[in-house]
Structure 1
């Protein structure tokens, strides 16, 4: 029981310290407080603090070495594929700039995944894309409903249907950032049914086994989202 309690406490401290590091509250120059100070601040044992330090080190946010203490790492060393790190980044002030980088990465991955799904995807896997699309359309017709979850399933289903294990391994990363991205881009589009129809063009190309068209339709979708994010960045600058 004590082990579980320690782990839960460690996870809470990991989350709070992780957010503080990513938001710039703790920097390379300032470092983190000592173990003793962290114990006092959070009212927990050194064991729980050390577990949190290990978790943060595994995410690349800090390093802990003998006689050097706990050191905050350069942002270039942070593990951006860690969904916790990505969430902390997206919840911090420069989230729009992070989203732009994320969309640039999506442009390198998802159009190719759509093309592979069209060329090699199994019928039953393409069915999953269709189910997600149908749920998007149903939600779009109901002013009280959200098609957010169905939108996420649409994209992750394409990653799976591509048959590329490396692409599918990115599903948690893609979903985490999409979760925030959709909140910016869908309202900008202004019409849920229009969003669903654009996704439908990708699905149709995949179902009809048209790799190049599937690739182009996915590229268009992400490029349009990029335009919305760029406009918002300029508006806030």
Structure 2
């Protein structure tokens, strides 16, 4: 029982310290507080602190070496494919710049995944895309269900339908960032029906085995989001310069 309690406490400390590191509260120059200081600050045992340190080290945020203490690693060493790290980054400021980088990753992967799905023609996998699309259409037209969750399911299903195991293993990474990205870009389109229709074009191309069309339609979706995010960044930077 104590072990489970320690693990829960460790996860809480990992979450709070992870957010603080990414927000810039700690840097490589100053490092983290000592084990004793963390124990006192969070009211937990050394065992729980050490578990948290191990988890943060596994995510590339910190390193712990004898006689050097706990050091904060350079952002270049952070594991950006770790969904917790990505989530903390998106919650931090400026998240729009992170979303732009994420969209660049999507642009390199998802259009190709759609093209592969069209070429492969796995009917069971394509049926999963159709299922997600139907949920999107229901949420858009009849206000039934969750459009965001259906949208996430659609993109995950396309990754799976590609038949590329490397693409599919990126699903948690894609879902984590896409969850934030969609919430930024959906209001700009103003119509849930339009969103569902654009995804339907991707699906139809995959269903008909039109690889190039599937690739282009998926690229179009991501390009739209990229344009919106870039405009938001430009607006944000313009306000800063005026201020």
TM-score, length-scaled by structure 2: 0.96
1:165 equivalent to 2:170? Answer: no
1:60 equivalent to 2:78? Answer: no
For residues 97 and 33 of structure 2, what CA distance do their matches in structure 1 show? 29
After TM superposition, give the deviation of residue 121 of structure 1 in Å: 3.4
Match of 2:184 in 1: 184
For residues 54 and 129 of structure 1, what CA distance do their matches in structure 2 show? 38
Match of 2:221 in 1: 221
What runs of 5+ residues in structure 1 fail to find an aligned partner?
none
Match of 2:150 in 1: 150
Q: Secondary structure at the match of 2:64?
A: strand
Q: Secondary structure at the match of 2:70?
A: strand
After TM superposition, give the deviation of residue 27 of structure 1 in Å: 1.0
Root-mean-square deviation (Å): 0.9
After TM superposition, give the deviation of residue 146 of structure 1 in Å: 3.5
* 1:98-146 Cα shifts (integer Å, max 9, x gaps): 0000000000000000000000031011011011001101100145754
* 1:147-166 Cα shifts (integer Å, max 9, x gaps): 00000000000000000000
Match of 1:130 in 2: 130
For residues 154 and 202 of structure 2, what CA distance do their matches in structure 1 show? 10
Match of 2:113 in 1: 113
Provide runs of 4+ in structure 1 moved above 6 Å.
none
For residues 164 and 5 of structure 1, what CA distance do their matches in structure 2 show? 39
Q: Secondary structure at the match of 1:93?
A: coil
What runs of 5+ residues in structure 2 fail to find an aligned partner?
238-243
- What is the number of equivalent residue pairs in this alignment? 237
* 1:147-190 Cα shifts (integer Å, max 9, x gaps): 00000000000000000000000000000000000001111111
After TM superposition, give the deviation of residue 236 of structure 1 in Å: 1.0
TM-score, length-scaled by structure 1: 0.98
